[in-house]
Structure 1
Amino acid sequence: MYDHQFDCFRLQEREYIPLEPNENGIICREIFPGLWLKQPALLAGDLTKVLEIIQQGIATAEHQMFVKSLSRE
């Protein structure tokens, strides 16, 4: 964050591939469905917007299925 940049990666075939934000500036994590990160809000320190987007992500059906899969283990 010191360089005013926020990068996310995914591991694919032993190589880290950058995750790009979607057209709304949101990075949607694949390994943790529902973890949505609003890149511009994070960089601006707008925690209200960051939390709003996270709440939207964890309200998705994909996140609910992910949580259920964890509770079965």
Structure 2
Amino acid sequence: TVRLDSDNEFQPDGVLLIPGGSSQLTSYGYIQGAPELVVEIAASSAAIDLGDKKRVYRRNGVQEYLVWQIFDQKLDWFYLEEGVYQSLSPNDEGILCSGVFPGLWLNATQLLQNNLAAVLATL
């Protein structure tokens, strides 16, 4: 569970934190504050994940936000720049590269084609 502020407490599908970064673990095992990366796997919740949750994550300073839309077979990776989420574009090889976590690369095409060996090879 991620407690972003007094009004917003979410349970994202994945998070990555930087030790000493903008969030911390509480004694109860909750994450307090904004993780550096939040991942949501969205089926029927895509509208919420790309609407209200995205706005809350942006407002609270989550630096990168990744939404995998299962039904639409689409992956959206956003990065925070001057308080606004921008879409992360793939590099020349078609790989999405995190700006916060060097070496965190994702071959979105291969992920969407369920080619996990190629996804792991990219990592």
Q: What is the one-letter code of the residue matched to 2:95? A: I
Question: Residue 29 of structure 1: which of 89, 98, 105 is its match?
Answer: 98
| Aligned position for 1:16 | 85
**Number of residue equivalences:** 54
Instruction: Give ranges in structure 1 of 5+ residues lacking alignment.
Output: 55-73
Cα distance in 1 for residues equivalent to 2:73 and 2:112: 6
What's the CA shift for 1:13? 0.9
Matches within 5 A, 1:1-73: 1-54=70-123
Percent identical across equivalent pairs?
43
More strand by share: 2
Cα distance in 2 for residues equivalent to 1:4 and 1:23: 21
Deviations 1:10-40 (A, max 9, x none): 0011100000011211001000110000011
Deviations 1:32-69 (A, max 9, x none): 11000001101101100000000xxxxxxxxxxxxxxx
Root-mean-square deviation (Å): 0.7
Cα distance in 2 for residues equivalent to 1:50 and 1:2: 20
Cα distance in 2 for residues equivalent to 1:35 and 1:2: 25
